[in-house]
């Protein structure tokens, strides 16, 4: 007989009150039970398989279990969702649900969610679930995915090709035909992932009486999550509150919608009580998005003086079985396609991109999205051209970099570089690194039998995008940012901001902007973020937009509050607003400093004695929303690495790293240095050791920190950081982003340094990470 309404197995649907009885017939909101419960998941152990049977009886009877959900249960609560951006014409992908229905498509895909009074009880119950699989052939590489007889990951799509496009400008065929010489290489970049110190986690609490859902979640994008949850679960958006408290690192990992997070929210809706889920480290490796798995075949043409004339590229990006929701999995490949010309005056370009499905974890946006891949490819080719033509690599860059008089510069791929210091950054790098001396020291080291290499990298970084990235494609991701600044009765300043903080010091930088604009001490400014019920609407933190967009909104809001303070002070002091100046937390009459009010006295008058204002609005609060008036703004940099390669073991040791970056107007140099150094460390990991390794069955072999090697303090040398400030001409504060420059430049500089070290042996590496095994294999092939 059908289960009664409210009982496990009952057929509930979106919009119903989905509280259920436990398997033992008790209502789950029985006050004798602990109120918050914990979720664990049964995950797929196959890369590709049909679900023949899922037996739950033993799990339902397990001690402490209060709820069990299958894919079919959750499908009645949650709409299927597809990560498709409409401005990527022709893009397609299969639909996702929080729990697999009928088929699993990667190892780690969640199948069953179980809630119990403790995490241990939930995991014990998960072990009692009996899943019978019918294994299917996994599709793991682009070649296998595109083969005529390839198994279809989503049969309804007709093939495994999710997206393809081509971008061409100038006359590449003619330029290649006329070139002095053409160089061709194929590059591969291995998968890696973010590994934030704090894994993903949430607590979801549903109140059926008001249909209100509150979710505390480790995320960069609370307003996006609010919109997504409301849409997918059919909830009123104004009853849905998302709170992102202090977040322990993210690197882009926490801007996505994850199946297990959605399933945990479905469990909260079902049980009507708080539900907690925190991914353990192995679950993180099996479910956090991966990135970077691409193969790029590139051709570069140049004249006899080393002037680059044309480029061709063919990019294959393997992105897992689904396109990530809602940002998609095609953006990284699209970034590579558009960024390959780099900071150089390449006028003839022909690039093609294919994005294919595979039976591995979903890939999507992760710190520096496509930039490290494009920079490594282009910069390695620049060094190859220089080496073969006998030109110093620094000099070859000078001959090709975009010049100051060229700005704004439109690349052959269509990017508009609004401003920059490409030549100045390279010159500063060569100066502070003592490049000529380094070359002499390198020659001496080689004479002593050591294999020391010097690698350069010049690059650009796209930062501060507006709606052109996602909003125009239909994704519920705000391209604007809001800030509210108010003067409290005690004279302190409170700021409510849409941008979020994951440890990068955003609150400190925004407080500095406010303190400077209002001329108050920093300790009188408090910044709050991350709560959709409290802060103005905004897109959150991604694509290095915190300062360009959030910082500009905060600057303009502080400026607007300053104007309000002047107007109100003028009314109270019987003066003209233009004669009021703000100085050290006081509003003073210019030229008559004895006539003035402290911010506290002013605020108390406005809040408590508004009758004294005589027709002036009694408000000490200002809200400003800001978006980039252009598509984005570009940061640039020049980095140098020195390495020592042990040709007996293949070990690469980084001896020195020097970075020169231009991120526009700098608010807090210490925070910028932290961002650059952290990005460089992450870039070193991607270049040398981090790799999500799969076997031929689609099993992830590097699912623990014993197997997935992140750089340690011993691997990262002291990072020397230097700065140039070229304000962004179209951004209110002149700010540019700084969060991804280090991760962009490091892989290119390291790869070039290793190849420089091994060049006398006739070795050139084009695969990352540059593991000792790959170095040894390359050395053996050269003998």
Residue 693 has which token pair? 């390794």
468-488: average pLDDT: 94
**pLDDT greater than 60 at residue 687:** yes
Q: How confident is the model at residue 25 (pLDDT cuts 50, 70, 90)?
A: very low
The whole-number average pLDDT for the span 525-544 is: 97
Q: Rounded CA gap, 93 and 104, in Å? A: 15
Residue 26 has what pLDDT?
33
Q: Residue 783: pLDDT band by 50, 70, 90 thresholds?
A: confident
As a whole number of angstroms, the distance between CA 679 and CA 692 comes to: 19
Give percent of the chain with pLDDT exceeding 70: 96
Query: What pLDDT, on the 0 to 100 scale, is given for residue 584?
Result: 96
* Residue pair 497/223 in contact by the 8 Å Cβ criterion: no
- In the chain, what's the furthest Cα-to-Cα distance? 90
Cα 556 to the center of its chain, rounded Å: 26
Instruction: Provide, rounded to the nearest whole percent, the portion of the chain with pLDDT above 90.
Output: 94
Give just the sign of the alpha carbon dihedral 339, 340, 345, 350. Answer: negative
117-140 pLDDT tens trace: 999 999 999 999 999 999 999 999
- Dihedral of CA atoms 601, 605, 607, 611 in degrees, nearest 10, equals 180
Does residue 49 surpass a pLDDT of 80?
yes
Residue 457: which residues within 8 A CB-CB, separation 6 or more? Answer: 375, 379, 638, 639, 640, 641, 745, 746, 748, 749, 752
Cβ burial of 164 (10 Å; 0-12, 13-18, 19+) is middle
Phi, psi of 160 (to 5 degrees): -105, 10
Look at the alpha carbons of 705, 710, 713, 715 in this order and tell me if their dihedral is positive or negative.
positive
pLDDT of residue 652: 98
Model confidence at 703: pLDDT above 80: yes
Alpha helix ranges (H) inside 250-301: 259-271, 281-287
Write out pLDDT tens, residues 155-165. Answer: 999 999 999 99
CA distances from 590 to 398, 566, 596, 601 (A): 51, 11, 9, 18
CA–CA gap between residue 114 and residue 37 (Å, rounded)? 10
Q: What are the pLDDT digits (tens) for 208-251?
A: 999 999 999 999 999 999 999 999 999 999 999 999 988 999 99
Question: Do 361 and 324 form a contact (C-beta atoms < 8 A)?
Answer: no
Average of pLDDT values for 502-510? 96
Dihedral in degrees, nearest 10, Cα atoms 21, 23, 29, 34: -170
Predicted confidence band of residue 4 (pLDDT cuts 50, 70, 90)? very low
| DSSP element (H, E) containing 684 | helix 669-688
Token pair, residue 403, equals: 């010049």
Residue 154 CB coordination number (10 Å): 18
| Residue in the structure block whose two tokens are 């599709």 | 139
Rounded CA-CA distance 775/757 in Å is 11
**Measured between alpha carbons, how far is residue 372 from residues 376, 380, 542, 748 in Å?**
6, 12, 16, 7
Q: How far is CA 275 from the centre of its chain?
A: 27
Any alpha helices (H) in 350-419, and if so which ranges? 371-389, 393-400
Exposure letters 85-104 (e unless 16+ CB within 10 A, then b):
beebeebbbbebbbbbbebb
Per-residue pLDDT tens digits for 180-203: 999 999 999 999 999 999 999 999
The pLDDT mean for the chain works out to: 94
DSSP symbols for 720-769: EEEEE----TTSTT-B---SSHHHHHHHHHHHHHHHHHHGGGT----EES
What DSSP letter does each residue of 3-70 carry, written as one string? PPTTBTT----TTS----B-TTS-BTT-TTS-S-EEEEEEE-SSSSEEEEEEE-HHHHTSTTEEEEEE
pLDDT reported for residue 22? 36
Q: Burial, 24: exposed, middle or buried (Cβ in 10 Å; 0-12, 13-18, 19+)?
A: exposed
3-state helix, strand, coil in the chain (%, to 5): 30, 25, 40
Q: How far is CA 51 from CA 108, 130, 136, in A?
A: 14, 11, 11
* Local structure of residue 152 (DSSP, 8 states): P
Asked whether the predicted pLDDT for residue 174 surpasses 70, the reply is yes
Helix (H, G, I), strand (E, B) or coil at 162: strand
Is residue 7 predicted with pLDDT exceeding 70?
no
pLDDT score at 615? 87
323 in helix, strand or coil?
Answer: coil
Band of residue 466 on the pLDDT scale cut at 50, 70, 90: confident
- Cβ proximity of 744 and 461 under 8 Å: yes
Residue 597 tokens, joined: 């009010």
Mean pLDDT value across residues 754-776: 98
What lies within 8 Å, CB to CB, of 298 at 6+ separation is 184, 185, 186, 187, 311, 312, 313, 314, 340, 377, 378, 381
Please state the rounded mean pLDDT for residues 710-719: 95
- Both tokens of 530, joined, read 């991350």
pLDDT (0 to 100) of residue 637: 98
Which segment of 22-26, 97-101, 376-380, 505-509 scores lowest on mean pLDDT?
22-26
Token pair recorded at residue 491: 């004279």
Residue 27 has pLDDT above 60, yes or no: no
Q: Indicate the SS3 state at residue 572.
A: helix
Stated pTM of the model = 0.94
Element counts in the chain: helices (H) and strands (E): 19, 31
pLDDT digits (tens, 9 = 90+) for 252-308: 999 999 999 999 999 999 999 999 999 999 999 999 999 999 999 999 999 999 999
Residue 83 pLDDT class (50, 70, 90 cuts): very high
Collapsing DSSP to helix, strand or coil, 227 comes out as helix
Residue 24 predicted with pLDDT over 80: no
Whose CA is closest to 558, among 529, 519, 532?
A: 519
The mean per-residue pLDDT over the stretch 102-129 comes to 98
Cα dihedral value 217, 223, 229, 232, nearest 10: -150
């Amino acid at each position: 007989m059908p289960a009664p309404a409210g009982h496990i197995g009952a057929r509930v649907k979106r919009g119903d009150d989905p509280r259920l009885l436990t398997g033992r017939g008790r209502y789950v909101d029985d006050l004798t039970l602990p109120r918050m419960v914990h979720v664990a998941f049964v995950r797929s152990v196959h890369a590709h398989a049909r679900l023949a049977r899922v037996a739950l009886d033993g799990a339902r009877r397990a001690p402490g279990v209060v709820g069990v959900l299958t894919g079919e249960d959750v499908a009645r609560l949650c709409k299927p969702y597809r990560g498709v951006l409409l401005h990527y014409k022709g893009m397609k992908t299969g639909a996702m649900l929080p729990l697999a229905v009928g088929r699993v498509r990667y190892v780690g895909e969640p199948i069953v969610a179980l809630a119990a009074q403790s995490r241990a009880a939930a995991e014990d119950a998960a072990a009692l679930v009996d899943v019978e699989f019918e294994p299917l052939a996994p599709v793991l590489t682009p070649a296998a995915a595109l083969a005529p007889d390839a198994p279809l990951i989503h049969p309804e799509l007709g093939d495994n090709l999710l997206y393809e496009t081509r971008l061409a400008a100038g006359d590449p065929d003619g330029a290649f035909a006329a070139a002095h010489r053409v160089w061709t290489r194929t590059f591969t970049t291995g998968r890696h992932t973010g590994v934030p110190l704090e894994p993903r986690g949430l607590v979801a609490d549903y109140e059926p009486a008001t249909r209100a859902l509150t979710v505390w979640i480790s995320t960069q994008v609370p307003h996006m999550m609010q919109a997504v949850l409301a849409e997918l679960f059919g909830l009123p958006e104004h009853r849905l509150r998302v709170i992102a408290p202090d977040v322990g690192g993210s690197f882009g990992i926490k801007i996505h919608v994850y199946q297990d997070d959605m399933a945990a929210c479905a469990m909260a809706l079902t049980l009507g009580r708080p539900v907690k889920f925190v991914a353990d480290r192995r679950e993180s490796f099996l479910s956090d998005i991966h990135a970077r798995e691409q193969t790029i075949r590139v051709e570069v043409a140049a004249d006899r003086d080393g002037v680059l004339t044309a480029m061709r590229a063919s990019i294959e990006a393997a992105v897992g079985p689904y396109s990530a929701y809602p940002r998609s999995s095609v953006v990284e490949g699209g970034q590579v396609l558009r960024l390959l010309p780099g900071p150089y005056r390449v006028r003839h370009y022909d690039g093609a991109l294919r994005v294919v499905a595979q039976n591995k974890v979903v890939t999507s946006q992760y710190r520096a999205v496509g930039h490290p891949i494009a920079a490594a490819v282009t910069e390695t080719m620049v060094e190859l051209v220089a080496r073969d033509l006998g030109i110093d690599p620094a000099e070859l860059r000078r001959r090709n970099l975009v010049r100051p008089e060229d700005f704004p510069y439109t690349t052959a791929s269509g990017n508009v570089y609004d401003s920059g210091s490409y030549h100045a950054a390279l010159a500063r790098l060569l100066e502070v690194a003592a490049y000529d001396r380094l070359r002499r020291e390198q020659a001496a080291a080689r004479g002593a039998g050591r294999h020391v290499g010097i690698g350069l990298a010049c690059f650009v970084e796209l930062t501060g995008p507006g709606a052109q990235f996602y909003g125009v494609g239909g994704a519920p991701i705000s391209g604007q940012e809001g800030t509210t600044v108010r003067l409290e009765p005690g004279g302190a300043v409170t700021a409510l901001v849409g941008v979020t903080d994951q440890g990068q010091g955003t609150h400190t930088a925004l407080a500095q902007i406010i303190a400077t604009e209002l001329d108050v001490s920093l300790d009188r400014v408090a910044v709050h973020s991350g709560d959709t019920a409290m802060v103005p609407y905004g897109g959150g933190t991604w694509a290095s937009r915190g300062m360009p967009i959030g910082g500009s909104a905060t600057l303009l809001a502080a400026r607007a509050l300053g104007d309000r303070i002047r107007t109100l002070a003028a009314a109270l002091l019987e003066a003209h607003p233009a004669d009021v100046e703000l100085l050290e937390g006081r509003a003073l009459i210019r030229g008559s400093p004895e006539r003035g009010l402290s911010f506290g006295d002013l605020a108390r008058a406005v809040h408590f004695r508004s009758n004294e204002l005589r027709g002036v609005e009694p408000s000490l609060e200002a809200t400003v929303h800001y978006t980039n008036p252009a598509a984005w703004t570009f940061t640039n940099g020049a980095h140098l690495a020195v390495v020592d390669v042990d040709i007996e073991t293949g070990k690469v040791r980084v001896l020195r790293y020097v970075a020169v970056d231009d991120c526009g107007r700098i608010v807090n140099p210490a925070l910028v240095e932290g961002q650059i150094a952290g990005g460089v460390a992450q870039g070193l990991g991607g270049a040398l050791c981090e790799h999500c390794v799969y076997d031929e069955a689609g099993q992830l072999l590097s699912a623990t920190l014993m197997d997935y090697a992140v750089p340690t303090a011993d691997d990262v040398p002291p990072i020397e950081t230097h700065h140039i400030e070229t304000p962004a001409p179209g951004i209110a504060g002149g700010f540019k982003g700084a969060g991804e420059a280090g991760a962009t430049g490091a892989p290119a500089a390291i790869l070039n340094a290793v190849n420089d070290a091994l060049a006398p042996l006739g070795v050139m590496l084009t695969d990352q990470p540059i593991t000792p095994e790959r170095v040894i294999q390359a050395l053996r092939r050269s003998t």
